[in-house]
Amino acid sequence: MPSNLPRFPARLRLLPLLAALPLLSGCGLIVLDPAGDVARQQGDLIIISTVLMLLIIVPVMALTVFFAWRYRAANREATYKPDWDHSTQLELVIWSAPLLIIICLGAVTWVATHLLDPYRPLARTGPGQAIAAHVKPLDVNVVALDWKWLFIYPEQGIATVNELAVPVNRPIRFRISASSVMNSFYVPALAGQIYAMPGMETKLHGVFDKTGTFDGFSANYSGWGFSDMRFKVKSLPAPAFDQWVADAKASGEGDLGRAAYLKLEKPSQKEPVRRFATIDPQLFDAVVNMCVEPGKMCMHDMMAIDAKGGAGIAGIQNIRSVTYDKFAARGTGGLANWSVRYVAALCSQQMHSADRPDAKPVNPAPLKGEGLPHPNQAPERTALNAVPRQTS
């Protein structure tokens, strides 16, 4: 190092670090100081796990410094044993302490994993505050869109975009899905995060025991507008929540039906708060089953057909080319990608041959059993059964 550079005393070198300490006071530890019982139990689990791990980490770090100082080259009083290689007593201490900590961590984690299962209905709103049998959870359907959040209140008959309001001390039951790519719904003050996936439904239970406004956001990267997928969560007293619902009904944009949803589903960034006065009661189920588009068969109907053996070759007439396709997110369209298709309703109008570039005329008579002999009658000798059979 050049000798002409200025040297500062060790105390002065710590001044930048001390000056940064006031800036850290603005950091909120919302995970360790939440506003809901579920999130608080999760925060306690983090603290307990950290303390248990520090029981072995701190002594190891302290002993590392002690041995480095005790057995330094300048210390002539330290015992020098170059041939020492084993101590049964020391091995017992070294292995028993971590083993006990792992057992404690496993027990605590196993119990907390079952108690804090996001699919498990809540049994309390706080320590010693059991939920009465007559209390009904507030149902909120959540849809992760590109790039915004849609909240549907089936009981209240309203929907909002990038705004979530719930009553305090009332259990909340979330049903969560997505429109395109996988996402993650996370309100740190309420409960842990859980994924939102297209064609699937996940669940989350939580409760607020404090009033206030909190942050919610997407915790899983989902594309260009991911960083703006944030929303405010309002924990309100019961009368204030009822007033909020009344305001949404009075000042909402209108009905959130399937046509309005398809427009809302289009990718957009920095979407402002929006409210809808009425909703389609079947909208969320249609989103989960990926059949919001008119004429498209729902997944549960398709699975019911598959469970009974499928529609057979005759069902090929119900295949239609995808025209919407999430704005070319999963295909480029045109004849090159004509194989990207969806199944329409079985009772819908059959396709024309022009809809399938590789289609050949198919005679549906054999598929329907037309012209075949009755099973109880003696079959006539035809060209098919006249072919000699091979015998071994």
Residue 356 confidence class, pLDDT cut points 50, 70, 90: very low
Task: For 75-87, write each residue's pLDDT tens digit.
Answer: 888 888 878 888 8
Q: What confidence score (pLDDT) does residue 192 get? A: 87
Q: Is the pLDDT of residue 332 over 80?
A: no
Residue 361 confidence class, pLDDT cut points 50, 70, 90: low
DSSP string, 329-360: TT---SGGGTT-EEEB-TTSPPPPGGG-TT--
Q: CA 149: distance to chain centroid?
A: 13
Residue of 237, 238, 217 lying closest to 228 (CA atoms)? 217
Task: For 289-309, write each residue's pLDDT tens digit.
Answer: 988 888 788 888 888 877 776
Q: What confidence score (pLDDT) does residue 195 get? A: 94
Cβ contact 2:17 at 8 Å: no
Residue 142 confidence class, pLDDT cut points 50, 70, 90: very high
Q: Is the pLDDT of residue 392 over 60?
A: no
Q: Where are the alpha helices (DSSP H) in the chain?
A: 10-13, 15-24, 37-70, 88-115, 238-251, 258-264, 283-288, 299-307, 325-328, 365-368
pTM of the model: 0.70
Task: For 249-293, write each residue's pLDDT tens digit.
Answer: 998 888 999 999 999 999 998 999 999 999 999 999 999 998 888
Instruction: Tell me the two tokens of residue 187.
Output: 């309100």
As a whole number, mean pLDDT of residues 88-111 equals: 89
Residue 340 confidence class, pLDDT cut points 50, 70, 90: very low
Architecture of domain 126-288: Sandwich (2.60)
Domain boundaries defined on the chain:
29-73+89-116, 126-288, 299-358
As a whole number, mean pLDDT of residues 98-116 equals: 90
Q: What confidence score (pLDDT) does residue 389 get? A: 46
Q: Is the pLDDT of residue 352 over 50?
A: no
